[in-house]
Every structure is written in C-alpha cells, then in structure tokens.
A and B are shown apart, each in its own frame.
Chain A
Amino acid sequence: AQSVAQPEDQVNVAEGNPLTVKCTYSVSGNPYLFWYVQYPNRGLQFLLKYITGDNLVKGSYGFEAEFNKSQTSFHLKKPSALVSDSALYFCAVREDSGSARQLTFGSGTQLTVLP
C-alpha cells in the first residue's frame, strides 16, 4: 500500500527567504511523485513530478523538488518566496504495481509567505 506524509500543517516564511515544504512517502514498488497547489477558491494545479532520472525536478512558478530515495522524501523548495506563493500544497504518490492508477495524497501544508 502507498502512503504520503506531510508532517507540517502550516509553514510560515518571510518574503524573499527560501521555503521548503516537506513530504515523505511509502510505496512497495517504484514511486512516481507529484506536487499540486491549491490557491484560494481554485482547483488543484499541477506543479511538478518526479518520474526517474535527475533527482532535482524543476516545475512551475520557480518551484523545484528533490527526490531522495534513501530518505523516501520529496521536499518542495523555492529559493525566494513570494507573497503570491501563499496557498495549500499537496504531495501525492503513485506506485508502479498493480492495476490501480489512483494518486495517494498527503493531508496538505498551508504555506503563508509574510510580506
């Protein structure tokens, strides 16, 4: 069975500072990892994904994520936070075993960037 943990319900960071939103996962097979963002009154928007290859994945809006197999982590990062980055972030995993194609999500992390 696959699972995702986002250990922080809330992350606060000052504008211009680097930000990290943490995610760890558990799968039986090979993981495919995704980050989604939900802005207020909007749907989930795809940010980036890890398939195979380079452990540092770059995505939309200047975000990137680092895949660490030994630590089973896929933390989301951005070098310099903007107030407009304030939103709810979800990490998700899908493993390549069985026939199911469902995504398993974490509980979400509310990011607040303070001006």
Chain B
Amino acid sequence: EAGVTQFPSHSVIEKGQTVTLRCDPISGHDNLYWYRRVMGKEIKFLLHFVKESKQDESGMPNNRFLAERTGGTYSTLKVQPAELEDSGVYFCASSQIDGWNTEAFFGQGTRLTVV
C-alpha cells in the first residue's frame, strides 16, 4: 500500500512568486492534515480536512495560504505571494479515523526555500 506522497520534495522560489504543494493521502483516508516546520523549530499544525471540507484551519498563518481538497482525494497548498518567512518543511498527513488516539501517517515533506 502506498504511503502519503508529497510533491515536490524540494522547491526554491523567489519572494513574491507562487508555489503549489501537493499531497496524495493514503487511499481511503478521509482525514488529511497539513503541518509545517519552520527554522528547525516545532512542527506546527496548519489545517485539517475531512473529505473535501475544512474541519479546522486555525493554524493557517494568513490569507497568503490557500488549501484545497477537491473531490476529497489529493490536496494542494498554495502560497501566494511567498515571503521569506514561509521557508520551511511542509508535511502532509492522513488518517482513516478522526479519533483522539489515532496516529496520523506522514509524507516525506516538501522543503520550501524562499529567496
């Protein structure tokens, strides 16, 4: 069974440009999460989809970030326009059950560098 897949693995863009990150969750997983790790600090929650609906987007830093999950399958996270402080590793995770004790399965991450 394929795990969570993220594209691209690395992206280097200039300040002001647009970048779109993609996440393919494990097949059948209704729950999809985005997290990011900035400057080697803690991994922080961005948002949570249940199927195609945004269940919780309390972690989205500002309106330059837009996440979508059309059809409840893969998800995209667009940053427009990118700023220097957006650099970091963006992780996607998925889980079948949305429970307190349910572990999420993570992808390998997308390393975003804004120059």
Which of A's residues lie within 8 Å of B, judged by CB?
4, 32, 34, 36, 41-46, 49, 51, 90, 92, 94-96, 99-108
A49 to B103, CA, bound (A): 8
Contact of A43 among B44, B56, B91 (CB under 8 A): B91
From residue B49, how far is it (CB to closest CB) to chain A in Å? 11
For residue B109, CB closer than 8 A to chain A, the reply is yes
Q: Given that A46-B105, A94-B100 are contacting pairs, would A102 and B42 also be in contact in the complex, using a CB cutoff of 8 Å?
A: no
For residue B101, CB closer than 8 A to chain A, the reply is yes
Known: A36-B106, A101-B48, A107-B41. 4 other contacts (CB 8 A): A32-B101, A44-B91, A101-B55, A103-B104
A105 to B99, CA, bound (A): 17
From residue A14, how far is it (CB to closest CB) to chain B in Å? 25
B44 touches A105 (CB 8 A): yes
For residue B3, CB closer than 8 A to chain A, the reply is yes
Q: Given that A32-B100, A107-B41 are contacting pairs, would A102 and B106 also be in contact in the complex, using a CB cutoff of 8 Å?
A: no
- Nearest 4 pairs between A and B by C-beta? A44-B106, A43-B108, A102-B45, A105-B43
Q: Given that A90-B43, A99-B56 are contacting pairs, would A43 and B107 also be in contact in the complex, using a CB cutoff of 8 Å?
A: yes
Chain B neighbourhood of A105, CB < 8 A: 35, 42-44
B100 touches A101 (CB 8 A): yes
From residue A70, how far is it (CB to closest CB) to chain B in Å? 21
A75 to B45, CA, bound (A): 22
From residue A109, how far is it (CB to closest CB) to chain B in Å? 11
Chain B neighbourhood of A4, CB < 8 A: 42
B106 touches A108 (CB 8 A): no
A101 to B97, CA, bound (A): 11
For residue B74, CB closer than 8 A to chain A, the reply is no
Chain B neighbourhood of A32, CB < 8 A: 100-101
